[in-house]
Structures are given as structure tokens and as C-alpha cells.
Amino acid sequence: MASRSAARPASDEDEDAEGTAPGGHGLLRALGLTLASTLLWGVAHLRVGRRWSGALLMALFLALAAAGAVAGLFFRPDLLQLAVRPDWLTGLAAGILALGLLWITVVIRSYQLVRPETLSLAARAAGAAGVIVLCFAVALPAAWAGYSAYVYRDALTSIFRTGDSRGRPVDVKDPWNGQRRVNVLLLGGDAAANRQGVRTDSMTVASIDTKTGDTVLLSLPRNLERVPMPPGPARDRFPYGFTGDGPSTPGLLNEVYQYAEDHPDVVPGARKNERGPELLKATISGILGLPIDYYVLVDMFGFADIIDAIGGVKIRIDQPIPYGLEGGVLQPGYRTLSGKEALWYGRSRTNSDDYTRMGRQKCLLRAIARQADPRTVLTKFDRLAAATKRAISTDIPQELLPAFIELADRFKDGGQVTSLQFVPPLIYTGNPDYALIRRLAAQAVATPPESSASPSASPSASDSGAADSGRSTPRASSSGRPVRQTKPVSLDATCPS
């Protein structure tokens, strides 16, 4: 019997007993199996003979991984649409946290199944430390993902409200009400601590084809005078066009927003911070002869925070641009601009004019749209969400966000952006030809994008200097006189690349 006992091969129990010594192989094997179970659920269960539970855990893990891969590869457009639905984001955050808890439970239970029965105090502490590290490796990504989903949902619900501007439900089955185009008024608000109210120094209507996503940008200068007001109290007060609110306001288009906020009686029934957008939408609708469906207002100083949140914006500068109040200059060349520098790039009037900076602003928006890739957004998520909440206000309903995402996807499949600016010499801002503006706006949104690339609408060889400098209008001919741009021009042709 003694000889048989001496010849008996070592069993699993004998190997586990080795774990009683610090650094024993039993503990290392247990931690190795726990790590394997962290990467693929069920490994430890199968190792100790728990076949049904091990197979079930492994199948569940593989099913979740396969579902994620299939969704990411084949249903990305649907995921993007769900990503702008607050109810789904709430479910996503809860699901991520539940998955994280389940994963941690699997890690702990796996170690309990495979750890040696007898371990020294030091070995027990080492094993517990190893399991804690694995749990943190699982918990931190899950917590970050759940928190990000919550932050994103909070930003989404803070910026976009439910229902239309009057609180009525939106028909998501026909989001555009059968319209061929949806028109969104894009506003840049120039509010600051040293000035009262908001001046909308940047006003552009993005007219978007609801079938293709092709977009025409129709820009109005801030200094249009004698602007015709919409029917109702506003026109009753200014029957011959907007003339401002006393000697300190000359009566320019960029003053309409704040005038409505200061005079509630011209927009009866509208609430504070909604009077300005409502009157300005109606006013610009009359100027262009196009319905304005929604607006987006970006505070220019908050816009700088957004640029800082994504790590700056890279753009080509062709001419020195004075920067700041201390004599700084943005030098020519490819530059990565901070938020403050980008704000000066878009707003500087030194050695230029309103119309030149309008062109720079569009080129700046184009550069940001191209560079705000998913990786940048994810890595700067918290700062970007906070900056966006401070900087943006809009009346686009939450329910329409999936439809706008779908339009963006269509645009990526070959859509075009063209631009037409109603500036001199086409329009004299002191005495604008509003009938001409309406006629050209109607032609711009009715013309297929291909025609905007024709020689008559795109910069000629003699205009290349203006195009390279980022000035979309006014362009100069070989004689030095500005050219009347009457058709939309591609931003690719007018912005430095």
C-alpha cells in the first residue's frame, strides 16, 4: 500500500495545496483562469466541470459580441438615429451599467470556483488584489460608457425640446410634411459682457434637399437696412421697414433679434428668449421669400469653447490676420487655431470688411465639420457636451433628430454644399433690392447642384486670388472690380484647402 501511495500521480488537489506557499502555482493558475474568464465568460466554469453554466455563459458572451459587431458593421445608420433619441440613451446607459455588474459578477464567481482551498494569508491577499484589478478593468470602461451616455442625453435634452415651437407633437412618419426642402436659419450671436443683448452678426439659411441632402447656404449681411417686417404688430410699427430703437440703433438686420426680446408686444404670445428667434425667422423668411422651418443660434464666445473642446481647428490662412488687442497676428500657412484664435479669424474686420469675414466664417465651419471626427468627439466628450450646452439654442424638436441624421448620411453619399451671399456689388445694403434677393433665392434652391459648377457660377482664373484667400464674395475681376455672383458657388471652390 505504501508503494502504491508513493507512486500515485499528483492530483488537482495536490496542485492546489501548493498554493499554500506564497507564489504557489495553484494561485497563479487560478488567476490565469479568472483572466481567461474575464476575456471569455465560462472558461473557469468549464475547467471545474460546470459544463451547463460554463456553456451558457460562453454562449451569452459570444452572442453579445456578435450582436455588437453586426450592429456596428451593418446597422450603423440605425444606431446613429437611435443615438439622438433620449429614451434609447436612457436604456443604453442602464444596459451598460447592468452589463458591467454582470461582468464583475462573472469575474468574482470564476475566481471563487478555481482558487485553491488552502492559501496562506499573503496568497489570499495577492489573489484578492488580482481579482480587484480585473474588476476595475471591467468596471471603469462600463462606468465611463454609462456616464457618457447620461451626459450626452442631458446635453441632448437641454438643447432640443420635445414638440414643435408651440409644443405640439411632431409627425415622425412624415418629418418634412411633404416638403422638398427644409430651411434652417443658422445664427451667430455676438453677445459679450461689455455689450447689451445679442446681435446676430452671422445669418445664413441652410436650405436642405430632403431627398439628397444637397444644401444651399443663403447668407445675408448684418447691415441690411430698411428690412421689411412680417405682417402683424411688427409691420404695423415699421410699415416702411425696420428702423431700429432710437439713436443708438441704426436699424440694421442684426438688431431685429434683440429688438423683439426688448419689445414683447411685437411678438405677442411668445416667451422670453423665443421672441427674438420667432421675429427674425419671420423677417428673413420675408426677405428671401422662403419659409424658415427652424433656427440654430450659436453664441460666438461659446463657439470658441467648442473649438477648444475638440483640440482646435486646422485651417489654411493665406493673408496675415490681426489677432487680439495686443498686436498679435495670425500668420499665413496651415495653422491649428485655438478657440480664441478661430473666433478672431472669423470676426476680424481689420484690412477687410463684413463680406470677407462672412466668407471666412463659412470656411471655418467647413473645416470644423471635416475635423470633428468620432475619435475626437469621444476623447473630448465631457468638455464638448458642456460647451455645446452653453453655446447652442434651437427650436429643432428632438423627434426630428433621427431624420436630420438620415439627411446627413445621404449628404455623405455625394451631396454638395453651395453658397450664395447677398452682398455688394450684387446687393447694396443701404438700399437693398429685396425683389432681386427673393428672385435669386428662388433660383438658387431650384437649381440642381451640378449647374453651380458651371463657369458662370464658379471662380474663374482671374478670381483665383479671392478664392484662395477664403473670400467667397465679393470676388475681383482682372480689372479689380468686384464680380456680381448671382448663382451658388461650391464651398470647395471658395475655401482654402
Give the helix/strand (H/E) hosting 207.
Answer: strand 200-209
Residue with cell 484662395: 468
The pTM is what?
Answer: 0.74
3-state secondary structure 421-490: ECCCCCCCCCCCCHHHHHHHHHHHHHCCHHHHHCCCCCCCHHHHHHHHCCCCCCEECCCCCEECCCCCEE
Contacts of 121 (CB under 8 A, 6+ apart): none
- DSSP assignment, residue 195? B
Phi, psi of 187 (to 5 degrees): -120, 140
Phi, psi of 104 (to 5 degrees): -60, -40
Q: How far is CA 428 from CA 40, 435, 497, in A?
A: 70, 13, 30
The predicted structure's pLDDT at residue 184: 95
More confident residue, 270 or 106: 106
- pLDDT mean over 199-219: 90
- From CA 33, how far away is CA 116, in angstroms rounded? 12
More confident residue, 227 or 155: 227
- From CA 167, how far away is CA 439, in angstroms rounded? 34
Q: Are 342 and 311 in contact (CB under 8 A)?
A: no
* Helix (H), strand (E) counts: the chain: 20, 13
Q: Record the cell numbers describing residue 482, joined without a space.
A: 468686384
For the segment 399-458, what is each residue's pLDDT rounded down to a tens digit?
888 888 888 777 766 678 888 989 888 899 999 999 999 999 999 998 666 544 443 333
Q: How far apart are the first and last CA of the chain?
A: 89
Return the half-sphere exposure (C-beta side, CA atoms, 13 A cut-off) of residue 220: 32
For the segment 287-301, what is each residue's pLDDT rounded down to a tens digit?
999 999 999 998 877
The predicted structure's pLDDT at residue 360: 78
**CA nearest 254: which of 206, 193, 297?**
297
- DSSP assignment, residue 188? E
Domains in the chain and their CATH numbers?
12-159 (no CATH), 181-494 (3.40.630.190)
Is the per-residue pLDDT at 193 higher than 80? no
Mean of the per-residue pLDDT values of the chain: 80
